[in-house]
Amino acid sequence: MSFPFAVQVVLLLLIVSGAIAYIGNYVGRYIGKRRLALFHLRPRHTAITITVISGVLIAVTTMAVLLTVSQDARTAFLGLDKLKGQIVEKSQELSAANVTLQKLNDELAAKLKEQKNLEEKLAGAKTEIGQLNKTKQKLSREVAVTRQGEVIFKKGEVISLSLIQGGPEKEKIEAGLRQIITNADAGLRGYGLKGSLLSVSPEDFDQAVYGLLGQNKMFVVKLLALRNTLWGEAVPARFETLENKLVFRENEEIASGEIAARLQAPQVEQEVARILGLARQAALLAGVQPDPSGSLGGVPYAQIVDISKKIRNSDRKTVLRVYARKDIFAIGPLDVVFKTSFK
């Protein structure tokens, strides 16, 4: 049966200590009985000295055994100061490591906070990118629609301009309005469109009929687009009627303006065009209707050149007047002549 090492050491110390105590006691008793003296001491003092020496031997033997058989004991006894120094050094290193660790923890916390901010910014950027993608898709669809379909009529734009006679015969008025629709539809097909594209609702058609019924007058009939219409789409339209009244009588002055003397040819032509613009504005205000292209009628460029030469040749300030060449009604066109006078 084997005992643990620690038990073996304890048993060895007990045996050695007991043997030393026994020997010391025996020597002390022997000296006491013989009344021997050591170092010129009295016998009683000699016995005490032997006892003390025995105790010291026990302690020394115990320490020697421990130092002999135990590495930990040798380390603790012989290297205690060194161990304390190492403990102090390691404690300082530990403190420095703790400081470094705290600094790293602070840096980590700052990095985590920065990462969180970046993640929030990234989330915001992703949201913004999503919105931009939606806008891009919308614009792409609009571009595709624009490329595939050109707007041919805007809401309220004049599709056609015609004349119709009012009167008591409903069937005749209806036939006239249907003919206007047919002619306008044929005009659209002339641009390469196919099928019946133009339509007027029954309500708008009947309203136009009853507006003309019983009116023994000539009317201007405008066919207007109800909404913006792309190329190739059906064109919903409505009628608008107004009396084709006389706006300017033949030789009636429409507009006038002064032109300075000694201008260059381009400047004179610009002045003539300016006065023509005044006549056009006056005609619009008076009720002359422009055609679907927006024109009231034009003046040949040769006529403008001729009147400009006449004005330049006079070398004087000129008053240019614009007159109606003939009676001008609401349906137009604005047919005019020029008359000049010099100052």
Angle formed at CA 257 by CA 276 and CA 249, multiple of 5 degrees: 60
Q: Given this model, what pLDDT does residue 35 score?
A: 60
More confident residue, 30 or 1: 30
What does pLDDT average to over the chain?
A: 81
pLDDT value at 178 more than 90:
yes
Q: Residue 147 — pLDDT band, cuts 50, 70, 90?
A: very low
The pLDDT-based confidence of 79 (bands split at 50, 70, 90) is: low
9 vs 259: which has the higher pLDDT = 259
**Residue in the block written with tokens 């507009």:** 255
> Where is pLDDT greater, at 215 or 79?
215
Q: Which tokens sit at 288? A: 């002359």
The proportion of the chain whose per-residue pLDDT surpasses 70, expressed as a percent, equals 74
Residue bearing the bigger pLDDT, 292 or 339 = 339
Pairing of strands 328-329, 336-342: unpaired
Going by C-alpha positions, the residue among 285, 266, 284 that lies closest to residue 274 is: 266
| pLDDT(293) > 80 | yes
Q: Is the pLDDT at 13 greater than 70, yes or no?
A: no
* Ranges 143-147, 217-221, 288-292: which has the least confidence: 143-147
Q: How many CA atoms lie within 13 A of 100 on its CB side?
A: 6
Q: How far is CA 265 from the centre of its chain?
A: 55
Maximum average pLDDT range among 24-33, 164-173, 193-202: 164-173
Judge whether residue 51 has pLDDT over 50. yes
pLDDT, position 199: 87
Exposed e or buried b for every residue in 257-274, given b needs 16+ CB within 10 A?
bebeeebeeeebbebbee
Beta-bridge partner residues of 319 = 258, 341
pLDDT band at residue 277 using 50, 70 and 90 as cut-offs: very high
Counting residues of the chain whose pLDDT is more than 90, the rounded percentage is 38
Q: What is the pLDDT of residue 193?
A: 59
Strand residue runs (E) in 203-317? 218-225, 229-230, 235-243, 246-248, 253-259
Where does the pLDDT of residue 191 fall: very low under 50, low under 70, confident under 90, or very high at 90 and above? low
Q: 147 or 243: which carries more pLDDT confidence? A: 243
Q: Which residue has the higher pLDDT, 87 or 280?
A: 280
Instruction: State how far the alpha carbon of 294 is from the alpha carbons of 82, 86, 162, 297, 321, in Å.
Output: 111, 105, 14, 9, 23
Give the whole-angstrom CA distance, residue 89 versus residue 252: 120
Averaging pLDDT over each range in 43-47, 207-211, 310-314, which range is the top one?
207-211
Most confident of 13-27, 202-216, 221-235, 303-317: 202-216
Name every residue whose Cβ is closer than 8 Å to that of residue 172 and which is 6 or more positions away in sequence: none
